[in-house]
Structure 1
Amino acid sequence: MPSPFNGSYQDFLTSSPEASFTDWLAAGAEPYWSSATGHAFTHAIGDGTMPDDAYVRYLIEDYTFITDLASTLGYLVAKAPSMRSKSRLSAFLALLTSEENDYFLRSFDALGVSPDVYEQAAQGPVTKAFADLLLTSSGEGSYAEGLTCLLCAEWCYLTWGKREAEKPRSVKFYLTEWIDLHAVPGFEAFVNWIRSELDEIGPALSQEKQKTLAGLFRQMCILEDAFFEAAWTGAGPEITGRLPRD
């Protein structure tokens, strides 16, 4: 597993002059970036070996998180510096509240999960910590801080989604459609747009603010990995108060 890069963005450019600001964020988040994007849970989605109970746990937790993700996007739409940026974020918000919501309802039905279960479910500790970090960074933080957390979440899914899309199709639609939602050109274009926004904003920030963004990206990776682990095993790390650190 790759080692973390602990230097500044300028140090990173010295050793990797063609690298982008978001490349630096990912490098500084190791080993958690690779652990999240390569978690056994993500491979099982593509292999079709996903146990139903693990996927039900995952879907319920993710469903409780959708409202918070929508709120995160709303904050970012409000803070985006240009109409073009507002438009890109608004379009993704519209997709999230339509096609993706429909996917959850059909999947719950196929897996025999009744509405009273997923509509009344409370967030587990990992999901709550994940949502809190997104909401705090986008609601109370700067546009760059919120965008950094959003990038980690969506880039992670694009990374494993494209990898798993290369495998033979599973007969379970809720596995294949979840991969396809995160491997289609439109989603990749959105993730690349977020990267381009941060690649433009990040280098102009002070080293202190760059370090803040790197810390947020790293914490998001830790929680993304913990989110998959909790669904996979049914037991995630205890998270109380402060976010987990190495």
Structure 2
Amino acid sequence: MEIFERLKAAVPDDWNAYVGHPFVRGMGDGTLPEPAFRHYLVQDYLFLIQFARAYALAGYKARSLADLKAASAGVSAIVDTEMDLHVRLSERWGLSAADLESAVEARATVAYTRLVLEAGMSGDLLDLYTALAPCMIGYAEIGTALAALPGGLSPDNPYREWIAEYSGEGFQEAAQAARDQLDRLAADRLTEARWPALVDLFRQATRLEADFWEMGLTLAE
């Protein structure tokens, strides 16, 4: 079993609460309140800036060319794909690029992104990619699940573009690359003694991802 699947299996309740959150279900059937999605878009843009920094940190901490290439691909996936998606989507929802860049980070945004950066600063690449996994790989899983719903990609679903992006080939390939990188790092650095701490880090990151959905749903600042 690949390391990501082992981590998910270790925290099933937390994982299911994240990928099955009411915010996610609301995107899938198109019932999510529009103000909640707009608030999410703004915060996720700020979120992605910090995640790009995390992948840049991975590049700094790389000990091989393969690790450096993986980090570079992560930065590119965020800066060249996800952030462009957010700008396009936001414009259609009445938000300009200036609105996104001038926004203040919500507490839920700070909580998860700083956990990731701290994991990378104080730990090694295995810690960093474990903390990143619920976002990069989790969004791919969510996108695939929502695209498979009867109305997920329906023209009547206002969230179909988000679903199409995260279920699409480009993002799915990026997520698979993240899985592969996590496996390579685990093969090199994971020991049984280290496993409980890694599970705890993955659990924290997963819970903070669920909190991020909740922030969007409740419009919490």
Matched with 1:148 is 130
Q: Is the 8 A contact 1:77 1:85 kept in 2?
A: yes
Q: Distance in 2 between matches of 1:39 and 1:183?
A: 18
Matched with 1:67 is 49
Give the deviation of 1:114 after TM superposition.
4.3
For residues 119 and 194 of structure 1, do their structure 2 counterparts lie closer, same or farther at Cα, with a shift above 3 Å needed? closer
Q: Is 1:207 matched up with 2:192?
A: yes
Q: Mean Cα displacement is larger for which, 117-126 or 87-96? A: 87-96
Matched with 2:119 is 137
Q: Is the 8 A contact 2:147 2:163 kept in 1?
A: yes
- Counterpart of 1:96, as a letter, is I
Matched with 2:161 is 177
Matched with 1:123 is 105
Matched with 2:217 is 232
Matched with 1:192 is 176
Q: Is the 8 A contact 1:202 1:210 kept in 2?
A: no
- 1:78-89 aligned within 5 A: 78-89=60-71
Q: Distance in 2 between matches of 1:183 and 1:120?
A: 29
Give the deviation of 1:120 after TM superposition.
1.7
Q: Is the 8 A contact 2:70 2:181 kept in 1?
A: no
Matched with 2:17 is 35
- Counterpart of 1:192, as a letter, is Q
Q: Is the 8 A contact 1:47 1:170 kept in 2?
A: no
For residues 20 and 109 of structure 1, do their structure 2 counterparts lie closer, same or farther at Cα, with a shift above 3 Å needed? closer
For residues 181-210 of structure 1, give each alpha carbon's deviation from its aligned partner in whole angstroms, at most 9, with x where no partner exists: 221233223323322333343355333322
For residues 47 and 139 of structure 1, do their structure 2 counterparts lie closer, same or farther at Cα, with a shift above 3 Å needed? same
Q: Distance in 2 between matches of 1:70 and 1:173?
A: 29
Length-normalised TM-score, structure 2: 0.88
Give the deviation of 1:172 after TM superposition.
6.9
Which ranges in structure 2 are unaligned for 5 or more consecutive residues? none
Q: Is the 8 A contact 1:88 1:190 kept in 2?
A: no
Q: SS at 2:194's partner residue?
A: helix
**How many corresponding residue pairs?**
218
Q: Distance in 2 between matches of 1:163 and 1:88?
A: 26
Give the deviation of 1:116 after TM superposition.
4.7
Q: Distance in 1 between matches of 2:182 and 2:195?
A: 11
For residues 122 and 28 of structure 1, do their structure 2 counterparts lie closer, same or farther at Cα, with a shift above 3 Å needed? same
Q: Distance in 2 between matches of 1:188 and 1:111?
A: 25
Q: Distance in 2 between matches of 1:113 and 1:135?
A: 28
For residues 88 and 234 of structure 1, do their structure 2 counterparts lie closer, same or farther at Cα, with a shift above 3 Å needed? same
Q: Distance in 1 between matches of 2:38 and 2:132?
A: 24
For residues 189 and 106 of structure 1, do their structure 2 counterparts lie closer, same or farther at Cα, with a shift above 3 Å needed? closer
For residues 145 and 121 of structure 1, do their structure 2 counterparts lie closer, same or farther at Cα, with a shift above 3 Å needed? same
Which ranges in structure 1 are unaligned for 5 or more consecutive residues? 1-18, 237-246
Q: Which one has the bigger helix percentage?
A: 2
Q: SS at 1:104's partner residue?
A: helix
Matched with 1:112 is 94
The root-mean-square deviation of aligned C-alpha atoms, in Å, is 2.2
- Counterpart of 1:212, as a letter, is A
Give the deviation of 1:83 after TM superposition.
1.7
For residues 119-170 of structure 1, give each alpha carbon's deviation from its aligned partner in whole angstroms, at most 9, with x where no partner exists: 2211111110101011111233201000101112112111110011123324
Give the deviation of 1:234 after TM superposition.
2.2
Q: Mean Cα displacement is larger for which, 198-207 or 50-59? A: 198-207
Which one has a bigger Cα radius of gyration? 1
Q: Is the 8 A contact 2:61 2:125 kept in 1?
A: yes
